[in-house]
Amino acid sequence: MSRLAPLPSPDDWTAEEDRRGFFGPGSVTWRIHSDPAYHLGGMRALMLQALHPVAMDGVARNSAGFKDDWWMRITRTGQYMETAVFGTRTEARRMAARVRGYHRKLSGTEETTGRPYRVDDPDLLLWVHNCAVESILVTVRRAGLAVSDEDADRYVDEQVAFAHLVGVPLETVPRSVAELDAYFAAIRPSLAATPAAVKGVRDLFLPPMPGWLQVLTPARPVWGGLAGLCFALLPAWARRMYSLPGLALTDAAATAGLRAFRAGFLALPRQVYRSPIVRAGYARTAEVSAA
């Protein structure tokens, strides 16, 4: 099996390219990842990723104590993705090296397939990458963001840079929507809703929360409603695999809920739904353009 692609080298970019990052404000990636619907696409991706028995085993097996720092782990994952997209190239490379070093230490054997694996096996990294790209793209388009077919292909192609940071061998990474669809068609027979996958999705619906937060705020029902919406956004074949009763919104209702979510956030100031990392990226590149 081929090993990881080497990290991009700082010798390959100028100071200005470093400040603009691997994508930049003119990219489809920035337009998509700064949209409010992007966040729901990320949660949908986690639900889809769980259907790979080996990838899900890697999460479950190496998540001792996960309940105690659930939110911190989710936050770190979000910060990694946002830094890779909106940070400088140096910041993105540094973050990717840290994640690679952590994954390198993790391994196991998945019981239902009997496969021994390392968490950073290239095919597992490719699965996680493709789930994220497909989920985010599908979600923002259904939410109402104007993304043409040409833009969609460009987004998939731009995300090869993200896959490079992760270490996915570049020759295996889809570069168009058609190639992405072909990947999922080919891998579907090997997917399964294992007990670990079902538990992982249930944990997304009912994450640990302080008692006072559950009692004094609507955080629990609001989060559960968003998780239910993300589940409804999964492809029909994935929802059937989970066979979770009571989570079946129609496609029309899911799209309507998603568009209402996006419209509500777009009515608010951008700093409400754009993190400090995203805002810093736009501010930094505005300085580059003005220089």
Q: What is the pLDDT of residue 224?
A: 77
d(CA 78, CA 89): 17
Q: What is the pLDDT of residue 75?
A: 83
d(CA 107, CA 104): 8
Residue 3 lies in a domain: no
Residue 291 has pLDDT above 70, yes or no: no
Q: What is the pLDDT of residue 69?
A: 64
Q: What is the pLDDT of residue 134?
A: 98
What is the count of structural domains for the chain?
1
Contact criterion met (CB below 8 Å) for 53 and 192: yes
Residue 8 has pLDDT above 90, yes or no: yes
Residue 237 has pLDDT above 70, yes or no: yes
Residue 110 — very low, low, confident or very high, per pLDDT cuts 50/70/90?
Answer: very high
Residue 104 lies in a domain: yes
The two structure tokens encoding residue 208: 């640990």
Residue 197 has pLDDT above 80, yes or no: yes
What pairs with residue 118 in β-bridges? 107
Question: How would you class 89 by CB atoms within 10 Å of its CB: exposed for 0-12, middle for 13-18, buried for 19 or more?
Answer: buried
Residue 194 lies in a domain: yes
Residue 31 has pLDDT above 90, yes or no: yes
Residue 213 lies in a domain: yes
Q: What is the pLDDT of residue 73?
A: 76
The residue range of the domain holding 148 is 15-282
Largest CA distance in the chain: 57
Residue 141 — very low, low, confident or very high, per pLDDT cuts 50/70/90?
Answer: very high
Residue 227 lies in a domain: yes
Q: What is the mean predicted confidence (pLDDT) over 198-203?
A: 88
Residue 168 lies in a domain: yes
Q: What is the mean predicted confidence (pLDDT) over 272-281?
A: 94
Give 207 or 167, the one with higher predicted confidence.
Answer: 167
Residue 9 lies in a domain: no
Residue 202 has pLDDT above 60, yes or no: yes
The two structure tokens encoding residue 62: 């190496």
Residue 289 lies in a domain: no
